[in-house]
Structure formats: C-alpha cells, structure tokens
C-alpha cells in the first residue's frame, strides 16, 4: 500500500510546489538548456508518477503483482478496477491532447504559411525571409520540417539598423535550427491534457521564456549582445497596436538585463541540474517497475 501513496505524493509535489519554487528562482535563467531539460523531466515525471500511482494502487488492492485475481463480488476488487479505469482515462486524455495539439498546430501553421507566401515579399538576406508590408513592428518565425519562414514587417525594419536586424534574424534562425517549437509543443500538449483547475501555467510559461533565452544566447555568440539588446528594446518599446497587446508581465526585461551582464557560463550548475532531471525521471519509473520486476523474478524463479 506504500508505493501508490508515495507515487501520488510525488505526482502532487511535481505538479504543484516544485514548479512554483523553480519558477520563482533566478538560477534556471543562467543555464537555460539544462533548465529546459529539468522542466521536461518534471512534467514527464509528474505524468509517470500519476499513472504509476493508479497502476500501483490497483495492484495493492487486487492481489499481488504477478498473481492477479479478480472477484466481482468483492468491493475491494471493484474499487481496484475503478482506479485502473480512471488511470486509463488519464492516459487516454493525454494521448488525445497530444494528437489534438499536433494536428491543430500544423493546420494553423500551414494556413499561416499560405497567407505569408501570397502577402509577403521574399528577401534574399537570409533563406526563408519574408517581408510583410505592415506598419506594426513584428518579427517571428514559422517553423517547418522544410521551408521554414522568418517574417519581418516593414515597421520592424524601419526601427532596426542593419546589425540589429541581423541579430534578430540570428535569434529567429536559432529557434528554427534547434526546433524550439517542438519543445514548446510538448509542453502545450501536457498543458492542454489537464483540466484547467489542476494544471498550472508555470511549466509552459517558463519553457517559453527559456527557449527565448536559448535563442538570445545563440544570437549573442554570433552578433554580440549590444545589437540584440537594442533590437529587443526597439521592437518591444514601440507603441502597442490598437488591439491592446501589451502583456502584463513579460520576459523582455529579463532578456535585456541578461544581455547587459557577461555571457553566462555555469558548467557545474548545469551538470547538477541535468543530474537532478535524470533522477526525477528514474524515481517514478523505478518505483513502478521494481515490484513488477520482483514479482516476475519470483514467478520465474
């Protein structure tokens, strides 16, 4: 009976307090790549622990692992079956969300790309660059397996000097090269899988910020910190368009402040974060697997 309780506790800690503590800390921003790995491990471990708790609970009520018995007249066995069904429901919901987000994201991107191709003009500065004749300053990328696009509006071009534009393009190309969109998509899948009242937005928000930091670091290595910081301020500080876009809280200030300090280099912190992430994944996996393996060994032996 102890395993399901431990796993359920682990799932709760990983879903609530742990993300809250990490999201409030400053250190993940120093090691964005390791921090992304940590958030991925957190999300995956929470899902595994929650599913594992359900599986382990149904074991511990309905006989020993490896010696299943089911007696429909027993309330215990019926309860175990209900727990298992609920666990299966969570798994199905997760799979459904994964498929829905994957299909939806691709459809939206395809439509957007079709529009970009007939509305924006190609520019030979970098491959896939399209210039949109709009006053609103705007720069973003549209990832794809083949034929990614970087879209920049005329309003953005007017606000950027040549070196600043190149820093922006380096940032966008870093997103495209590293497929940061897939990282965000995975977090979006987990995020949409859970009902609004249990999920927290922290993991997805943090992932968004961290991939921006990763692309910033890449652009900084190629073009230096100053052009990128100037480009950020030029595009973020422009008057917001009529539909009230101004975000209440944004990662922009964090990004600019980060560019004002020396390039981050924290190998020890990164290594311990990776270790922590790996440990997080091993914990629920082993907890679920060990009783099953032990039962299997007993059965064989």
Q: Which listed range, 6-14, 50-58, 114-122, 287-295, lies at the site for another protein (CB under 8 A)? A: 114-122
Per CB under 8 A, the list member of 74, 86, 122, 177 interacting with another protein is 122
Position 139 contacts another protein (CB under 8 A): yes
Position 184 contacts another protein (CB under 8 A): yes
Q: Which listed range, 13-21, 82-90, 126-134, 275-283, lies at the site for another protein (CB under 8 A)? A: 126-134
Position 13 contacts another protein (CB under 8 A): no
Minimum gap (Å) between residue 28 Cβ and another protein: 19
Output b/e per residue, 105-129; b: 16+ Cβ within 10 A: beeebeeebeeeeeebeeeeeeebb
Position 188 contacts another protein (CB under 8 A): yes
Position 196 contacts another protein (CB under 8 A): no
Closer CB to another protein, residue 7 or residue 258? 258
Q: What is the 3-state secondary structure (H, E, C) of the chain?
A: CHHHHHHHHHHHHHHCHHHHHHHHCCHHHHCHHHHHHHHHHHHHHHHHHHHHHHHHHHHHHCCECCECCCCCCCHHHHHHHHHHHHHHHHHHHHHHHHHHHHHHHHHHHHHHHHHHHHHCEECCCCCCEEEECCCCCCEEEECCCCCCEEEEEHHHHHHCCHHHHHHHHHHHHHHHHHCHHHHHHHHHHHHHHCCCCCCCCHHHHHHHHHHHHHHHHHHHHHHCHHHHHHHHHHHHCCCCCCCCCCCCCCCHHHHHHHHHCCCCCCHHHHHHHHHHHHHHHHHHHHHHHHHHHHHHHHHHC
Q: Which listed range, 14-22, 33-41, 53-61, 120-128, lies at the site for another protein (CB under 8 A)? A: 120-128
Taking CB under 8 A as the rule, which mask of x and - marks residues 63-82 in contact with another protein?
--------------------
Position 199 contacts another protein (CB under 8 A): no
Position 132 contacts another protein (CB under 8 A): yes
Per CB under 8 A, the list member of 6, 136, 163, 274 interacting with another protein is 136
Per CB under 8 A, the list member of 1, 2, 118, 198 interacting with another protein is 118
Q: Which listed range, 6-14, 31-39, 130-138, 276-284, lies at the site for another protein (CB under 8 A)? A: 130-138
Minimum gap (Å) between residue 72 Cβ and another protein: 41
Taking CB under 8 A as the rule, which mask of x and - marks residues 18-37 in contact with another protein?
--------------------
């Amino acid at each position: 009976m102890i395993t399901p309780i431990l796993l359920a506790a682990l799932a709760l800690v990983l879903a609530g307090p742990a993300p809250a503590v990490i999201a409030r800390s400053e250190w993940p921003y120093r090691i964005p790549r390791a921090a992304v790995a940590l958030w991925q491990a957190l999300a995956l471990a929470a899902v595994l622990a929650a599913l594992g708790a359900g599986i382990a609970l149904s074991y511990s009520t309905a006989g020993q692992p490896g010696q299943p018995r089911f007696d429909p007249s027993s309330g215990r066995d019926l309860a175990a079956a209900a727990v298992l069904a609920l666990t299966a429901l969570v798994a199905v919901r997760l799979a459904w969300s994964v498929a829905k987000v994957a299909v939806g994201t691709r459809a939206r991107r395809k439509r957007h790309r079709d529009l970009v191709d007939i509305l924006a003009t190609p520019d030979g500065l970098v491959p896939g660059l399209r210039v949109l004749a709009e006053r609103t300053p705007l720069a973003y990328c549209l990832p794809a397996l083949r034929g990614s696009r970087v879209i920049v509006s005329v309003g953005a071009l007017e606000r950027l000097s040549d070196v600043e534009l190149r820093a922006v393009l380096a940032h966008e190309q870093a997103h495209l090269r590293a497929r940061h969109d897939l990282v965000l998509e995975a977090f979006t899948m987990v995020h949409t899988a859970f009902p609004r009242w249990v999920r927290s937005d922290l993991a997805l928000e943090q992932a968004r910020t961290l991939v921006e930091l990763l692309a910033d670091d890449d652009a900084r290595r190629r073009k230096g910190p100053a052009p990128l910081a100037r480009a950020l301020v030029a595009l973020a500080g422009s008057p917001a368009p009529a539909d009230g876009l101004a975000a209440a809280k944004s990662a922009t200030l964090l990004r600019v402040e980060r560019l004002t300090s020396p390039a981050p280099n924290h190998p020890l912190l990164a290594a311990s974060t990776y270790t922590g992430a790996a440990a997080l994944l091993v914990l629920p996996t082993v907890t679920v697997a060990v009783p099953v393996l032990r039962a299997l060994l007993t059965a064989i032996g």
